[in-house]
Amino acid sequence: MDSINKIKSLPQWVFRAFYLSLYDLITVNFAYFIVLWLHYNLRYTTIPLKYLQAYLSFVPVYSLFTLSVFYFLKLYKSIWKYVSLSEMNRILLATIVTAIFHGIGITVLCTKMPISYYLMGPLFQFMFTVSVRFAYRFINLVRRRKQRNENAKYNSLIIGAGSAGQIIIKELENSSVVQSVPKCVIDDDPNKWGRMLENIPIIGGREKIIEAVQKFDITQIIFTIPSASAKDKREILNICKETDCKLLTLPGVYQLLNEKVFLQHLKPVAVEDLLGREPIKADLGQIKQQIQGKVVLITGGGGSIGSELCRQIATYDPEQLIVFDIYENNAYSIEQELKRNYPNLNLKVLIGSVRDQKRVDDIFSSYRPDIVYHAAAHKHVPLMEGSPNEAVKNNVVGTYNTSKAALKHNAERFVLISTDKAVNPTNAMGASKRICEMIIQMMDKDSRNSKKRTQFVAVRFGNVLGSNGSVIPLFKKQIAAGGPVTVTHPDIIRYFMTISEAVGLVLQAGAYAAGGEIFVLDMGQPIKIDTLARNLIKLSGLHPDEDIKIKYIGLRPGEKLYEEKLMAEEGLQKTENQLIYIGKPIPFDEKKFLKDLQSLIQNSQENPKNIEAQMQQIVPNFKFQEVVG
């Protein structure tokens, strides 16, 4: 009884392998008998006795050898329903090896057989061996397709008739979990029109999307062109979002580098995909040369920009990565992520504030960072309007403390994370960041005059999609709550970039740095926030103004209708990267600036009521803008 129970408890594949080996045992021998039978006019009685005796006496030897070869080539370990060309190649190899053995063995041990026996026997053996395996796959595929068609949740349109599209179709066909049936394929290449991709028709280019959705009753569209330009992707997805279909897309080609495409790579189309532009093509070798073997300090390392800096820098093999942040939860989160993904990284996570000059100085003294990325800052415009002294204490004082420590301890490079709101600022946050830029320019000049090696630069960019405090998480919450989505003004526009783009710019700027520069990203065309909100509503499967209302609430304190990337007198200078420019530093009286700066810092602690007026003294073009209702 125990023996029977033990047998029953064996894995299913053991039983399948046993039954398949029995089938092979019969058919590989039967294949050679068929040849004799055909050779002698389909009559068993006409086969010469010596051939029958030779055949029968060789059956045990051949059976043992053939099963050994089949097991050695793992023909019994394949999953039947996924049998493919690789299995067929192994079966072909097994047939060749066993045919050679059979031909030599029966001739040497028994007798010479008819020529057709040597030629046709292996052919029949191959056919029998392959047929049962592919028949199982075919029957399973038909059964699975029938079940999937009956239970399908989505009829899918595939965009892209390339290798990624082919893999996605195969995955959909083989998946027993994903309830999606591929119905048709769209591709802009006219040479592919009218042809089939994995038995799915390629019906035309992007102009056929709307028609295909109606004709095939499409409920899901899958974009499978990782190498598509941002312009093409944006145009195609903008057509798709007019259809009310669920949209899925693959990541870009660089995110899939060295990876195979799988269904799990598919993700819902994000609003970033509709606003996308050509990605920054960073010189990875140049960035690695800058970072590899260096001690790197990131202030504000737990924030949106800081944590992405950590992720990217970790890939360039620094000698040590130091994460400095005041928020312990953020710091703990990025610490756990880095330890999990980069187990060999020499990582140090420190808690503290950039406002604390002694704490900052102690860190520089203890760890001697070569490169500093200063991302610690208050960035929320309306909140800083209510507490401008906090913008000064965190942004200005933090930058002053950190840059002084970098100069004192002879760091190689200091990179300030700045913002386009520093240009002709209309709010306290923007003005504080402009003062930070001026601190960097002053420090770089001090470094040159004292013949130290520290190079100070600033990197200025616009709104970062997906960052803490960005508009998209707010819109998503409002949509989930049923609306309304609040937009400050129907005509307000902003420049946008992704976090990875912003960090790519920071790292590339650090590599370009000669000292004193303000690097500016060509952020493409500005986007209306109203358009952004409407796109996000559509991507949620809803209709703007019908399902979700849009409410215009008026500009907030210190908010502009538009942002600028440069002040008029800064001009632009090209770099090796066509999307990165250098703004010419604006000269200022450094002695007066230092005196005003020290007074501003003191008053932020003791007399915060007049802080805006003092900021205006340092940044003359800092003007408040009255709220527009």
Asked if pLDDT for residue 565 goes beyond 80, the answer is no
Supply the pLDDT for residue 256. Answer: 38
Residue whose C-alpha is closest to residue 435's, from 574, 599, 593, 325: 593
Cβ burial of 399 (10 Å; 0-12, 13-18, 19+) is buried
Supply the pLDDT for residue 566. Answer: 47
Supply the pLDDT for residue 274. Answer: 61
| pLDDT tens figures, 114-124 | 998 999 999 99
Supply the pLDDT for residue 626. Answer: 43
Supply the pLDDT for residue 97. Answer: 93
Burial pattern 488-502, b for ≥16 Cβ within 10 A else e, equals bbeebbbbbbbbbbb
The residues facing 574 across adjacent strands are: 581
Residue/partner pairs of 387-390 with CB below 8 Å, 24 or more apart: 388/428, 388/432, 388/608, 388/611, 388/612, 388/615, 389/604, 389/608, 389/611
68, containing H or E segment: helix 49-72
Supply the pLDDT for residue 259. Answer: 44
Question: CB atoms < 10 A from the CB of 176, how many?
Answer: 9
Asked if pLDDT for residue 628 goes beyond 70, the answer is no
For residues 209 and 240, the answer to whether their CB atoms sit within 8 Å is yes
- Helices and strands of the chain, counted as H and E runs: 22, 22
More confident residue, 428 or 525: 428
For residues 596 and 615, the answer to whether their CB atoms sit within 8 Å is no
The amino acid occupying position 165 is G
pLDDT more than 90, % of the chain: 35
Q: Let me know how long the chain is.
A: 629
pLDDT bracket for residue 265 (50, 70, 90) = low
| C-alpha span between 613 and 194 (Å, rounded) | 70
DSSP-H helix ranges across 152-208: 163-174
pLDDT bracket for residue 269 (50, 70, 90) = low
Question: CB atoms < 10 A from the CB of 475, how many?
Answer: 23
| pLDDT tens figures, 145-156 | 666 655 667 889
| C-alpha span between 473 and 468 (Å, rounded) | 8
pLDDT bracket for residue 627 (50, 70, 90) = very low
Compute CA distances 343 → 296, 306, 371, whole Å. Answer: 17, 19, 22
Asked if pLDDT for residue 544 goes beyond 90, the answer is no
Residue/partner pairs of 80-88 with CB below 8 Å, 24 or more apart: 80/16, 80/133, 80/136, 80/137, 80/140, 81/136, 81/137, 81/140, 81/141, 81/144, 81/174, 82/137, 82/174, 83/133, 83/134, 83/136, 83/137, 87/133, 88/130
Min mean pLDDT across 314-323, 525-534, 590-599 is at: 525-534
Does the reported pTM lie above 0.85?
no
Kindly state the tokens that stand for 479: 């949509």
pLDDT bracket for residue 307 (50, 70, 90) = very high
Supply the pLDDT for residue 342. Answer: 93
Asked if pLDDT for residue 448 goes beyond 70, the answer is yes
Kindly state the tokens that stand for 127: 């056919």
Mean pLDDT, to the nearest integer, of 277-299? 82
pLDDT bracket for residue 323 (50, 70, 90) = very high
